[in-house]
Homo-oligomer: A and B are copies of this chain.
Amino acid sequence: MGKKNKQFVEKITAMEENFAQWYTDVVKQAELVDYGQVRGTMIIRPYGFAIWENIRDVLDEKFKETGHTNVAFPLFIPESLLQKEKDHVEGFAPEVAWVTHGGDEELAERLAVRPTSEVLFCDYYSKNIHSYRDLPKLYNQWGNVVRWEKTTRPFLRSSEFHWQEGHTAHATDEEASEETERMLGIYADVVEKYLAIPVLKGKKTDKEKFAGAKYTLTIESLMHDGKALQSGTSHHFGSGFAEAFDITYLDENGDSQYVHQTSWGLSTRIMGALIMVHGDNRGLVIPPRIAPTQAMIVPIAQHKEGVLDKAYDLRDQLKDIVRVDIDASDKMPGWKFNEYEMKGIPVRIEMGPKDIEKEQVVLVRRDTGEKEFVPLAALPTRLPALLDEVQANLYQRAEDHLHEKTNTATNMEEFATILEEQAGFIKAMWCGDVACEEKIKEATLATSRCIPFEQEKVADTCVCCGKEAKELVYWAKAY
Protein backbone atom coordinates (compact mmCIF):
# COMPACT_ATOMS: atom_id res chain seq x y z
CA MET A 1 0.00 0.00 0.00
CA GLY A 2 1.21 3.47 -0.87
CA LYS A 3 1.71 6.34 1.48
CA LYS A 4 -1.72 7.68 0.66
CA ASN A 5 -3.49 4.75 2.26
CA LYS A 6 -1.33 4.59 5.29
CA GLN A 7 -2.89 7.65 6.86
CA PHE A 8 -6.23 5.89 7.21
CA VAL A 9 -4.72 3.30 9.47
CA GLU A 10 -3.33 5.91 11.79
CA LYS A 11 -6.07 6.40 14.32
CA ILE A 12 -7.25 9.91 14.94
CA THR A 13 -7.16 11.20 18.50
CA ALA A 14 -10.38 10.45 20.40
CA MET A 15 -12.43 13.56 20.97
CA GLU A 16 -12.91 12.74 24.67
CA GLU A 17 -9.16 12.63 25.05
CA ASN A 18 -8.23 15.87 23.31
CA PHE A 19 -10.94 17.67 21.38
CA ALA A 20 -8.64 20.23 19.77
CA GLN A 21 -6.33 17.50 18.51
CA TRP A 22 -9.30 15.46 17.29
CA TYR A 23 -10.41 18.49 15.27
CA THR A 24 -7.00 18.99 13.72
CA ASP A 25 -6.70 15.28 12.92
CA VAL A 26 -10.08 15.20 11.20
CA VAL A 27 -9.45 18.35 9.18
CA LYS A 28 -6.19 16.90 7.96
CA GLN A 29 -7.11 13.24 7.47
CA ALA A 30 -10.44 13.87 5.80
CA GLU A 31 -8.39 15.96 3.34
CA LEU A 32 -10.36 19.14 3.89
CA VAL A 33 -7.45 21.48 4.39
CA ASP A 34 -3.71 21.82 4.28
CA TYR A 35 -1.70 24.59 5.88
CA GLY A 36 -0.49 27.44 3.67
CA GLN A 37 3.08 28.69 3.89
CA VAL A 38 2.03 32.04 5.33
CA ARG A 39 1.10 31.85 9.00
CA GLY A 40 -2.56 31.13 9.55
CA THR A 41 -3.49 30.65 5.91
CA MET A 42 -5.11 27.51 4.58
CA ILE A 43 -5.36 25.57 1.36
CA ILE A 44 -8.90 24.31 0.94
CA ARG A 45 -8.47 20.96 -0.77
CA PRO A 46 -10.93 19.45 -3.28
CA TYR A 47 -13.11 17.67 -0.73
CA GLY A 48 -13.28 20.66 1.60
CA PHE A 49 -14.00 23.02 -1.26
CA ALA A 50 -16.73 20.79 -2.70
CA ILE A 51 -18.60 20.97 0.62
CA TRP A 52 -18.17 24.75 0.74
CA GLU A 53 -19.40 25.01 -2.87
CA ASN A 54 -22.59 23.19 -1.94
CA ILE A 55 -23.21 25.52 1.01
CA ARG A 56 -22.44 28.49 -1.24
CA ASP A 57 -24.83 27.36 -3.96
CA VAL A 58 -27.73 26.94 -1.53
CA LEU A 59 -27.14 30.37 -0.01
CA ASP A 60 -26.60 32.01 -3.39
CA GLU A 61 -29.92 30.72 -4.65
CA LYS A 62 -31.72 32.08 -1.61
CA PHE A 63 -30.01 35.45 -1.94
CA LYS A 64 -31.11 35.70 -5.55
CA GLU A 65 -34.66 34.60 -4.72
CA THR A 66 -34.84 37.53 -2.32
CA GLY A 67 -33.72 40.02 -4.96
CA HIS A 68 -29.99 40.27 -4.29
CA THR A 69 -27.39 40.46 -7.03
CA ASN A 70 -23.72 39.54 -6.91
CA VAL A 71 -20.96 42.05 -7.53
CA ALA A 72 -17.18 42.14 -7.19
CA PHE A 73 -15.52 44.97 -5.33
CA PRO A 74 -11.75 45.55 -5.13
CA LEU A 75 -9.43 43.74 -2.74
CA PHE A 76 -7.60 46.90 -1.66
CA ILE A 77 -8.84 49.78 0.48
CA PRO A 78 -6.86 53.04 0.66
CA GLU A 79 -5.96 53.78 4.28
CA SER A 80 -7.80 57.12 4.22
CA LEU A 81 -11.02 55.44 3.11
CA LEU A 82 -10.81 52.83 5.87
CA GLN A 83 -10.51 55.62 8.43
CA LYS A 84 -13.74 57.35 7.52
CA GLU A 85 -15.95 55.58 10.07
CA LYS A 86 -14.35 55.83 13.52
CA ASP A 87 -15.72 52.74 15.31
CA HIS A 88 -15.19 50.63 12.24
CA VAL A 89 -11.52 51.45 11.78
CA GLU A 90 -10.84 50.96 15.49
CA GLY A 91 -12.33 47.51 15.28
CA PHE A 92 -10.38 46.39 12.23
CA ALA A 93 -7.10 48.36 11.95
CA PRO A 94 -5.15 46.15 14.41
CA GLU A 95 -5.57 43.13 12.15
CA VAL A 96 -5.06 44.67 8.72
CA ALA A 97 -2.43 43.42 6.26
CA TRP A 98 -0.89 46.45 4.53
CA VAL A 99 0.36 46.73 0.97
CA THR A 100 3.09 49.35 0.80
CA HIS A 101 4.81 48.64 -2.53
CA GLY A 102 3.71 48.07 -6.13
CA GLY A 103 6.61 46.50 -8.00
CA ASP A 104 9.68 48.55 -7.04
CA GLU A 105 7.71 51.66 -6.30
CA GLU A 106 6.69 52.69 -2.77
CA LEU A 107 3.03 53.67 -2.75
CA ALA A 108 2.03 57.19 -1.76
CA GLU A 109 -0.71 55.73 0.45
CA ARG A 110 -0.81 52.35 2.16
CA LEU A 111 -3.52 49.94 1.00
CA ALA A 112 -5.40 47.67 3.37
CA VAL A 113 -6.13 44.19 2.08
CA ARG A 114 -9.85 44.20 2.80
CA PRO A 115 -10.74 42.73 6.22
CA THR A 116 -14.39 43.38 5.27
CA SER A 117 -15.79 45.69 2.60
CA GLU A 118 -18.23 48.12 4.24
CA VAL A 119 -16.21 51.22 3.31
CA LEU A 120 -15.86 50.16 -0.34
CA PHE A 121 -19.59 49.67 -0.72
CA CYS A 122 -20.28 52.93 1.12
CA ASP A 123 -17.97 54.85 -1.17
CA TYR A 124 -19.73 53.34 -4.19
CA TYR A 125 -23.20 54.00 -2.78
CA SER A 126 -22.31 57.63 -2.07
CA LYS A 127 -21.66 58.08 -5.82
CA ASN A 128 -24.42 55.86 -7.22
CA ILE A 129 -27.44 56.54 -5.08
CA HIS A 130 -29.29 59.75 -5.93
CA SER A 131 -33.02 59.20 -5.76
CA TYR A 132 -35.52 57.01 -3.92
CA ARG A 133 -35.82 55.25 -7.28
CA ASP A 134 -32.30 53.90 -6.82
CA LEU A 135 -33.29 52.11 -3.61
CA PRO A 136 -33.04 49.52 -2.26
CA LYS A 137 -29.56 48.41 -3.32
CA LEU A 138 -29.28 44.70 -2.56
CA TYR A 139 -25.70 43.60 -3.25
CA ASN A 140 -23.77 40.52 -2.27
CA GLN A 141 -20.17 39.53 -2.85
CA TRP A 142 -18.44 36.14 -2.60
CA GLY A 143 -14.76 36.52 -1.90
CA ASN A 144 -11.77 36.36 0.34
CA VAL A 145 -10.82 38.70 3.17
CA VAL A 146 -7.70 38.97 5.32
CA ARG A 147 -7.43 39.48 9.08
CA TRP A 148 -4.01 39.25 10.61
CA GLU A 149 -4.89 37.01 13.55
CA LYS A 150 -2.43 36.01 16.25
CA THR A 151 -3.78 32.53 16.93
CA THR A 152 -5.21 30.61 14.04
CA ARG A 153 -6.95 27.28 13.37
CA PRO A 154 -8.21 25.93 10.06
CA PHE A 155 -11.70 27.27 9.23
CA LEU A 156 -12.23 28.63 12.76
CA ARG A 157 -9.80 31.50 12.67
CA SER A 158 -7.50 32.00 9.72
CA SER A 159 -5.53 34.96 8.37
CA GLU A 160 -7.44 34.69 5.13
CA PHE A 161 -10.91 33.26 4.81
CA HIS A 162 -13.67 32.92 2.25
CA TRP A 163 -17.16 34.23 2.78
CA GLN A 164 -20.01 36.16 1.35
CA GLU A 165 -20.73 39.67 2.49
CA GLY A 166 -24.07 41.27 1.71
CA HIS A 167 -24.28 45.07 1.68
CA THR A 168 -27.61 46.79 1.28
CA ALA A 169 -28.96 50.34 1.33
CA HIS A 170 -32.57 51.24 2.04
CA ALA A 171 -34.80 54.30 2.17
CA THR A 172 -35.97 53.75 5.73
CA ASP A 173 -34.70 52.37 9.02
CA GLU A 174 -37.64 49.97 9.05
CA GLU A 175 -36.77 48.47 5.66
CA ALA A 176 -33.19 48.00 6.85
CA SER A 177 -34.51 46.24 9.97
CA GLU A 178 -36.60 43.90 7.84
CA GLU A 179 -33.57 43.12 5.68
CA THR A 180 -31.38 42.45 8.73
CA GLU A 181 -33.95 39.97 10.02
CA ARG A 182 -34.64 38.43 6.61
CA MET A 183 -30.99 37.58 6.05
CA LEU A 184 -30.54 36.16 9.54
CA GLY A 185 -33.61 34.05 8.77
CA ILE A 186 -31.97 32.72 5.60
CA TYR A 187 -28.81 31.85 7.51
CA ALA A 188 -30.78 30.04 10.20
CA ASP A 189 -32.82 28.21 7.60
CA VAL A 190 -29.82 27.02 5.57
CA VAL A 191 -27.77 26.05 8.62
CA GLU A 192 -30.67 24.11 10.15
CA LYS A 193 -32.18 22.50 7.05
CA TYR A 194 -29.05 21.82 5.00
CA LEU A 195 -26.23 21.62 7.52
CA ALA A 196 -28.51 19.95 10.11
CA ILE A 197 -27.22 22.29 12.81
CA PRO A 198 -29.81 23.77 15.18
CA VAL A 199 -29.17 27.41 16.00
CA LEU A 200 -30.08 30.00 18.58
CA LYS A 201 -31.26 33.27 17.08
CA GLY A 202 -30.77 36.54 18.86
CA LYS A 203 -29.12 39.90 19.15
CA LYS A 204 -25.56 40.61 20.22
CA THR A 205 -24.95 42.87 23.21
CA ASP A 206 -23.36 46.23 22.40
CA LYS A 207 -20.03 44.89 23.56
CA GLU A 208 -20.15 42.03 21.07
CA LYS A 209 -21.72 43.78 18.07
CA PHE A 210 -19.92 44.52 14.79
CA ALA A 211 -17.63 47.56 14.75
CA GLY A 212 -19.78 50.39 13.40
CA ALA A 213 -23.18 48.68 13.67
CA LYS A 214 -26.30 49.93 15.42
CA TYR A 215 -26.99 46.31 16.31
CA THR A 216 -25.94 42.84 15.25
CA LEU A 217 -28.13 39.76 14.94
CA THR A 218 -26.51 36.35 15.21
CA ILE A 219 -27.06 32.64 14.93
CA GLU A 220 -25.13 30.62 17.49
CA SER A 221 -24.55 26.89 17.42
CA LEU A 222 -23.15 24.44 19.96
CA MET A 223 -20.15 22.25 19.29
CA HIS A 224 -19.67 18.73 20.60
CA ASP A 225 -17.32 19.93 23.33
CA GLY A 226 -19.93 22.33 24.70
CA LYS A 227 -18.39 25.47 23.23
CA ALA A 228 -20.44 27.85 21.11
CA LEU A 229 -19.67 29.04 17.60
CA GLN A 230 -21.01 32.21 16.04
CA SER A 231 -22.27 30.90 12.71
CA GLY A 232 -23.56 33.91 10.82
CA THR A 233 -24.26 37.56 11.60
CA SER A 234 -26.48 40.26 10.17
CA HIS A 235 -25.83 43.90 11.03
CA HIS A 236 -28.09 46.95 11.04
CA PHE A 237 -26.02 50.09 10.53
CA GLY A 238 -28.78 52.65 10.85
CA SER A 239 -27.49 55.76 9.10
CA GLY A 240 -24.08 55.77 10.81
CA PHE A 241 -22.08 54.84 7.73
CA ALA A 242 -24.34 56.98 5.54
CA GLU A 243 -23.45 60.02 7.64
CA ALA A 244 -19.73 59.22 7.57
CA PHE A 245 -19.77 58.67 3.79
CA ASP A 246 -22.50 61.16 2.89
CA ILE A 247 -24.83 58.64 1.24
CA THR A 248 -28.04 60.52 0.62
CA TYR A 249 -31.03 60.31 -1.68
CA LEU A 250 -33.85 62.63 -2.66
CA ASP A 251 -37.15 61.28 -1.37
CA GLU A 252 -40.49 61.62 -3.20
CA ASN A 253 -40.87 65.16 -1.83
CA GLY A 254 -37.45 66.17 -3.09
CA ASP A 255 -35.92 66.21 0.41
CA SER A 256 -32.44 64.86 0.99
CA GLN A 257 -32.30 61.83 3.31
CA TYR A 258 -29.62 59.51 4.58
CA VAL A 259 -29.90 55.87 3.54
CA HIS A 260 -30.14 53.06 6.10
CA GLN A 261 -27.77 50.17 5.63
CA THR A 262 -27.16 46.55 6.54
CA SER A 263 -24.42 44.02 6.04
CA TRP A 264 -24.42 40.28 6.68
CA GLY A 265 -21.88 37.55 6.32
CA LEU A 266 -21.37 33.83 6.55
CA SER A 267 -17.90 32.36 6.14
CA THR A 268 -15.90 29.16 5.84
CA ARG A 269 -16.00 29.15 9.68
CA ILE A 270 -19.26 27.25 9.24
CA MET A 271 -17.13 24.33 8.03
CA GLY A 272 -15.72 24.21 11.56
CA ALA A 273 -19.24 23.93 12.96
CA LEU A 274 -20.04 21.15 10.52
CA ILE A 275 -17.05 19.16 11.76
CA MET A 276 -17.56 19.79 15.47
CA VAL A 277 -21.33 19.27 15.55
CA HIS A 278 -21.60 16.03 13.57
CA GLY A 279 -18.14 14.45 13.60
CA ASP A 280 -17.20 11.45 15.70
CA ASN A 281 -14.16 9.35 16.49
CA ARG A 282 -14.15 7.81 13.04
CA GLY A 283 -14.02 11.22 11.39
CA LEU A 284 -16.38 13.54 9.60
CA VAL A 285 -20.12 13.06 9.23
CA ILE A 286 -21.53 15.16 6.38
CA PRO A 287 -25.28 15.82 6.19
CA PRO A 288 -26.64 14.35 2.94
CA ARG A 289 -28.08 17.63 1.66
CA ILE A 290 -24.65 19.21 1.36
CA ALA A 291 -22.51 16.08 0.89
CA PRO A 292 -20.54 16.20 -2.40
CA THR A 293 -20.94 12.41 -2.53
CA GLN A 294 -24.09 11.13 -0.84
CA ALA A 295 -23.48 7.44 -1.48
CA MET A 296 -20.24 5.61 -2.25
CA ILE A 297 -20.33 2.24 -3.96
CA VAL A 298 -17.65 -0.14 -2.70
CA PRO A 299 -17.49 -3.36 -4.75
CA ILE A 300 -16.65 -6.48 -2.71
CA ALA A 301 -14.37 -9.14 -4.23
CA GLN A 302 -14.18 -6.97 -7.30
CA HIS A 303 -11.68 -9.29 -9.00
CA LYS A 304 -14.52 -11.81 -9.46
CA GLU A 305 -16.17 -11.79 -12.82
CA GLY A 306 -19.07 -9.40 -13.28
CA VAL A 307 -18.73 -7.57 -9.98
CA LEU A 308 -17.21 -4.37 -11.35
CA ASP A 309 -19.59 -4.32 -14.32
CA LYS A 310 -22.57 -4.61 -12.02
CA ALA A 311 -21.16 -1.93 -9.72
CA TYR A 312 -20.77 0.48 -12.63
CA ASP A 313 -24.28 -0.34 -13.83
CA LEU A 314 -25.53 0.50 -10.37
CA ARG A 315 -23.68 3.80 -10.41
CA ASP A 316 -25.22 4.69 -13.77
CA GLN A 317 -28.66 3.71 -12.57
CA LEU A 318 -28.41 5.86 -9.44
CA LYS A 319 -26.55 8.88 -10.73
CA ASP A 320 -29.60 10.93 -11.64
CA ILE A 321 -31.23 10.17 -8.31
CA VAL A 322 -28.47 10.86 -5.79
CA ARG A 323 -24.86 12.12 -5.89
CA VAL A 324 -23.20 8.73 -6.14
CA ASP A 325 -19.63 7.66 -6.78
CA ILE A 326 -17.77 4.38 -7.02
CA ASP A 327 -14.34 3.36 -5.75
CA ALA A 328 -13.03 0.70 -8.10
CA SER A 329 -9.38 1.16 -7.09
CA ASP A 330 -7.38 -1.89 -6.06
CA LYS A 331 -7.39 -0.94 -2.39
CA MET A 332 -8.93 -3.48 0.03
CA PRO A 333 -12.62 -2.88 0.86
CA GLY A 334 -11.64 -2.35 4.52
CA TRP A 335 -9.36 0.53 3.54
CA LYS A 336 -12.15 2.03 1.49
CA PHE A 337 -14.62 1.72 4.37
CA ASN A 338 -12.23 3.61 6.63
CA GLU A 339 -11.54 6.28 4.05
CA TYR A 340 -15.19 7.09 3.37
CA GLU A 341 -16.08 6.95 7.03
CA MET A 342 -13.28 9.44 7.66
CA LYS A 343 -14.76 11.63 4.93
CA GLY A 344 -18.23 11.32 6.40
CA ILE A 345 -19.98 10.10 3.27
CA PRO A 346 -23.58 9.55 4.43
CA VAL A 347 -24.21 6.07 2.97
CA ARG A 348 -21.95 3.28 1.77
CA ILE A 349 -23.27 0.80 -0.77
CA GLU A 350 -21.58 -2.60 -0.67
CA MET A 351 -22.05 -5.02 -3.52
CA GLY A 352 -20.34 -8.40 -3.84
CA PRO A 353 -20.92 -11.68 -5.72
CA LYS A 354 -23.46 -12.93 -3.18
CA ASP A 355 -25.40 -9.70 -3.33
CA ILE A 356 -25.43 -9.84 -7.10
CA GLU A 357 -26.79 -13.38 -6.90
CA LYS A 358 -29.53 -12.25 -4.55
CA GLU A 359 -30.15 -9.05 -6.54
CA GLN A 360 -29.54 -6.87 -3.52
CA VAL A 361 -27.03 -4.45 -2.03
CA VAL A 362 -25.98 -3.61 1.51
CA LEU A 363 -26.52 -0.03 2.68
CA VAL A 364 -24.47 1.20 5.62
CA ARG A 365 -25.36 4.49 7.30
CA ARG A 366 -22.46 6.65 8.38
CA ASP A 367 -24.35 8.26 11.28
CA THR A 368 -25.43 5.12 13.13
CA GLY A 369 -23.41 2.40 11.41
CA GLU A 370 -26.64 0.43 10.81
CA LYS A 371 -26.70 -1.97 7.88
CA GLU A 372 -29.64 -2.98 5.77
CA PHE A 373 -30.10 -5.30 2.81
CA VAL A 374 -32.07 -3.69 0.01
CA PRO A 375 -33.33 -5.37 -3.16
CA LEU A 376 -31.87 -3.72 -6.25
CA ALA A 377 -35.35 -2.93 -7.51
CA ALA A 378 -36.17 -0.98 -4.34
CA LEU A 379 -32.95 1.01 -4.25
CA PRO A 380 -34.09 4.02 -6.32
CA THR A 381 -36.74 4.77 -3.73
CA ARG A 382 -35.05 3.40 -0.60
CA LEU A 383 -31.74 5.25 -1.01
CA PRO A 384 -33.17 8.81 -1.16
CA ALA A 385 -35.46 7.94 1.75
CA LEU A 386 -32.51 6.69 3.77
CA LEU A 387 -30.60 9.90 3.03
CA ASP A 388 -33.56 11.86 4.38
CA GLU A 389 -33.51 9.71 7.51
CA VAL A 390 -29.80 10.36 7.99
CA GLN A 391 -30.35 14.10 7.51
CA ALA A 392 -33.20 14.11 10.06
CA ASN A 393 -31.27 12.01 12.54
CA LEU A 394 -28.25 14.30 12.42
CA TYR A 395 -30.42 17.29 13.15
CA GLN A 396 -32.25 15.48 15.94
CA ARG A 397 -29.03 14.34 17.56
CA ALA A 398 -27.59 17.86 17.46
CA GLU A 399 -30.79 19.31 18.83
CA ASP A 400 -30.87 16.82 21.70
CA HIS A 401 -27.28 17.74 22.48
CA LEU A 402 -28.14 21.43 22.40
CA HIS A 403 -31.05 20.96 24.83
CA GLU A 404 -29.04 18.74 27.10
CA LYS A 405 -26.26 21.31 27.29
CA THR A 406 -28.46 24.34 27.86
CA ASN A 407 -28.88 25.13 31.55
CA THR A 408 -30.11 27.95 33.70
CA ALA A 409 -28.06 29.80 36.30
CA THR A 410 -29.44 32.33 38.73
CA ASN A 411 -26.18 33.18 40.49
CA MET A 412 -22.48 33.06 39.76
CA GLU A 413 -21.82 29.85 41.69
CA GLU A 414 -24.34 27.97 39.59
CA PHE A 415 -22.91 29.66 36.51
CA ALA A 416 -19.37 28.52 37.30
CA THR A 417 -20.44 25.01 38.24
CA ILE A 418 -22.38 24.44 35.02
CA LEU A 419 -19.53 25.80 32.97
CA GLU A 420 -17.04 23.57 34.71
CA GLU A 421 -19.14 20.41 34.72
CA GLN A 422 -20.58 20.43 31.23
CA ALA A 423 -20.02 23.74 29.50
CA GLY A 424 -22.76 24.43 26.92
CA PHE A 425 -25.11 27.39 26.93
CA ILE A 426 -26.05 29.06 30.17
CA LYS A 427 -29.30 30.93 30.31
CA ALA A 428 -28.99 33.75 32.83
CA MET A 429 -30.58 37.13 33.42
CA TRP A 430 -28.58 40.29 32.85
CA CYS A 431 -28.99 43.85 34.09
CA GLY A 432 -27.79 45.32 30.80
CA ASP A 433 -24.59 46.78 32.28
CA VAL A 434 -21.43 46.09 30.29
CA ALA A 435 -19.52 45.96 33.59
CA CYS A 436 -21.32 42.70 34.50
CA GLU A 437 -20.64 41.29 31.04
CA GLU A 438 -16.93 42.03 31.46
CA LYS A 439 -16.88 40.64 34.98
CA ILE A 440 -18.45 37.36 33.86
CA LYS A 441 -15.94 37.03 31.05
CA GLU A 442 -13.03 37.72 33.38
CA ALA A 443 -14.22 35.27 36.01
CA THR A 444 -15.34 32.42 33.73
CA LEU A 445 -14.09 33.08 30.18
CA ALA A 446 -17.70 32.79 29.04
CA THR A 447 -19.05 35.57 26.82
CA SER A 448 -22.55 36.73 26.06
CA ARG A 449 -23.53 34.84 22.90
CA CYS A 450 -26.88 36.49 22.30
CA ILE A 451 -29.97 38.08 23.72
CA PRO A 452 -32.38 35.48 22.32
CA PHE A 453 -35.44 36.54 20.33
CA GLU A 454 -37.46 34.15 22.50
CA GLN A 455 -37.19 35.80 25.88
CA GLU A 456 -37.96 34.08 29.19
CA LYS A 457 -37.70 35.39 32.71
CA VAL A 458 -35.67 32.76 34.55
CA ALA A 459 -35.00 35.09 37.51
CA ASP A 460 -35.71 38.64 38.64
CA THR A 461 -32.13 39.70 39.16
CA CYS A 462 -28.91 39.90 37.19
CA VAL A 463 -26.86 36.73 37.57
CA CYS A 464 -23.78 38.83 38.23
CA CYS A 465 -24.64 41.94 40.27
CA GLY A 466 -28.01 40.95 41.71
CA LYS A 467 -29.65 44.18 40.56
CA GLU A 468 -32.89 44.19 38.61
CA ALA A 469 -32.63 42.06 35.47
CA LYS A 470 -33.34 43.55 32.08
CA GLU A 471 -33.23 40.55 29.79
CA LEU A 472 -32.27 36.94 29.31
CA VAL A 473 -28.86 36.27 27.77
CA TYR A 474 -27.28 33.04 26.54
CA TRP A 475 -23.69 32.74 27.71
CA ALA A 476 -21.00 30.26 26.71
CA LYS A 477 -17.34 29.77 26.11
CA ALA A 478 -16.93 30.21 22.38
CA TYR A 479 -14.65 29.60 19.44
Within residues 66 to 121 of chain A, which ones have a CB less than 8 A from any CB in chain B? 69-78, 81, 93-105, 110-111, 113, 120
Within residues 24 to 62 of chain A, which ones have a CB less than 8 A from any CB in chain B? 34, 36-38, 41-46, 49-50, 52-53
Contact B4 A144 (CB under 8 A): no
Within residues 128 to 171 of chain A, which ones have a CB less than 8 A from any CB in chain B? 128, 130-131, 133-134, 139, 143-144, 146, 148, 159-160, 162
Contact B70 A2 (CB under 8 A): no
Q: Given that A34-B124, A46-B69, A70-B49 are contacting pairs, would A97 and B96 also be in contact in the complex, using a CB cutoff of 8 Å?
A: no
Q: How long is the Cα–Cα vector from A99 to B159 in the complex, in angstroms?
A: 13
A303 at interface by CB-CB < 8 Å: no
Q: Choose one: B37, B42, B78, B101; the contact of A97 (CB below 8 Å).
A: B101
Contact A36 B73 (CB under 8 A): yes
Contact B75 A3 (CB under 8 A): no
Contact B34 A78 (CB under 8 A): no
A123 at interface by CB-CB < 8 Å: yes
For residue A123, which residues in chain B have a CB less than 8 angstroms away from its CB?
37
Question: In the complex, how many residues of chain A place their beta carbon closer than 8 angstroms to a beta carbon of chain B?
Answer: 62
| CB-based nearest B residue for A130 | B3
Q: Choose one: B101, B124, B131; the contact of A43 (CB below 8 Å).
A: B124
Most buried by B among A95, A101, A143: A101
Q: Choose one: B105, B128, B146; the contact of A34 (CB below 8 Å).
A: B128
Contact B99 A113 (CB under 8 A): yes
Contact B97 A102 (CB under 8 A): yes
Q: How long is the Cα–Cα vector from A78 to B76 in the complex, in angstroms?
A: 19
Q: Choose one: B41, B75, B124; the contact of A113 (CB below 8 Å).
A: B75
Most buried by B among A76, A95, A105, A128: A76
Contact A104 B100 (CB under 8 A): no
Contact A44 B72 (CB under 8 A): yes
Q: How long is the Cα–Cα vector from A332 to B123 in the complex, in angstroms?
A: 31
Q: How long is the Cα–Cα vector from A74 to B134 in the complex, in angstroms?
A: 37
Q: How long is the Cα–Cα vector from A153 to B133 in the complex, in angstroms?
A: 30
Q: How long is the Cα–Cα vector from A77 to B38 in the complex, in angstroms?
A: 7
For residue A139, which residues in chain B have a CB less than 8 angstroms away from its CB?
46
Contact B38 A160 (CB under 8 A): no
Interface of A is mostly: mixed
User: Whole-angstrom distance from the CB of A35 to the nearest CB of chain B?
Assistant: 10
Q: Choose one: B45, B50, B74, B131; the contact of A36 (CB below 8 Å).
A: B74
Q: How long is the Cα–Cα vector from A42 to B75 in the complex, in angstroms?
A: 10
Contact B45 A71 (CB under 8 A): yes
For residue A34, which residues in chain B have a CB less than 8 angstroms away from its CB?
124, 127-128
Q: Choose one: B2, B53, B76, B94; the contact of A131 (CB below 8 Å).
A: B2
Contact B75 A146 (CB under 8 A): yes
User: Whole-angstrom distance from the CB of A63 to the nearest CB of chain B?
Assistant: 12
Q: How long is the Cα–Cα vector from A98 to B110 in the complex, in angstroms?
A: 11
For residue A128, which residues in chain B have a CB less than 8 angstroms away from its CB?
34
Q: How long is the Cα–Cα vector from A144 to B78 in the complex, in angstroms?
A: 18
| CB-based nearest B residue for A123 | B37
For residue A96, which residues in chain B have a CB less than 8 angstroms away from its CB?
102-103
User: Whole-angstrom distance from the CB of A52 to the nearest CB of chain B?
Assistant: 8
For residue A74, which residues in chain B have a CB less than 8 angstroms away from its CB?
36-38, 41-43, 160
Q: Given that A98-B101, A99-B98 are contacting pairs, would A72 and B46 also be in contact in the complex, using a CB cutoff of 8 Å?
A: no
| CB-based nearest B residue for A45 | B71
Contact A81 B144 (CB under 8 A): no
Contact B72 A49 (CB under 8 A): yes
For residue A50, which residues in chain B have a CB less than 8 angstroms away from its CB?
69-70
For residue A41, which residues in chain B have a CB less than 8 angstroms away from its CB?
74-76
User: Whole-angstrom distance from the CB of A105 to the nearest CB of chain B?
Assistant: 8
Q: Choose one: B4, B43, B77, B81; the contact of A73 (CB below 8 Å).
A: B43
Contact A69 B42 (CB under 8 A): no
Contact A81 B46 (CB under 8 A): no
8 interchain residue pairs of minimum CB distance: A102-B148, A46-B69, A41-B74, A36-B74, A44-B72, A98-B101, A2-B131, A3-B130
In addition to A97-B102, A98-B100, 18 A-B residue pairs with Cβ atoms within 8 Å of each other are A4-B134, A34-B124, A37-B78, A37-B123, A38-B74, A43-B74, A46-B139, A49-B69, A49-B71, A50-B70, A72-B144, A74-B160, A93-B103, A96-B103, A97-B101, A97-B111, A101-B110, A143-B144
| 17 chain-A/chain-B pairs, Cβ below 8 angstroms | A34-B127, A36-B76, A37-B74, A38-B78, A41-B74, A41-B76, A43-B71, A45-B71, A49-B70, A52-B72, A53-B70, A93-B103, A97-B102, A98-B99, A100-B101, A102-B159, A103-B148
